[in-house]
Amino acid sequence: MTSSFEGSLAEAEAQAIAERNLCGLVSALSRQIEGHVRERAAALDLTAPQATALRELTGPLTMRDLADRMGCEPSNATFVVDRLEEQGIVERRPHPTDRRAKQLVLTPEGVALRERLIEKLTEGSPMAGLTPQEQTTLQELLQRALH
């Protein structure tokens, strides 16, 4: 006969194992995605951070907004954007409502490069094995876990 303490301990242990396994899977998926981005970026003569910035530039963004989307500090995003600007892919423009801020906007060359990048990132993506519904479900579950 097991005590309720032993039962609680067994449940806690089972939960710890499940969480460890889940964390391992999330970590492995993250590494796989990072490797995929790095490989696809290199094919376009971009670094992985440059590819991430380019992927996230879906319209005019401030540096802070881009950094948030990239999951990095604004100073790191600035370094990446400086390189993209030197390559003629991004330009800084005055913000329409905040004179202290600049907006990042893709140049025509940047738009074309972003389109090629999106195609490359989609090819052989680690997420390609999931249906759109499964991707939506995974996204919803991860968002819940993050909040």
Dist CA 57 CA 111 (whole Å): 9
pLDDT per position as a tens digit, 73-107: 999 999 999 999 999 999 999 999 988 889 999 99
Residue of higher predicted confidence among 40 and 147:
40
- Domain coordinates in residue numbering, the chain: 4-123
pLDDT per position as a tens digit, 99-143: 888 999 999 999 999 999 999 999 999 999 999 999 999 999 999
Reduce the DSSP state of residue 47 to 3 states and report it: coil
| Of the options 1.20.1260.10, 3.40.50.300, 1.10.10.10, 3.10.105.10, the CATH number for the domain spanning 4-123 | 1.10.10.10
Dist CA 4 CA 142 (whole Å): 32
Confidence of residue 12 (pLDDT cuts 50, 70, 90): confident
Render 17-33 in DSSP notation, one character per residue: HHHHHHHHHHHHHHHHH
The H-or-E segment that residue 104 falls in is: strand 102-106
Residue 44 CB contacts under 8 Å (≥ 6 apart), including other chains: 51, 113, 116, 117, 120
- For helices 48-56 and 4-43, angle between their N-to-C axes, nearest 10 degrees: 90
pTM of structure: 0.82
Q: Name the β-bridge partners of 106.
A: 90
Nearest to 106 by CA among 64, 67, 50, 68: 50
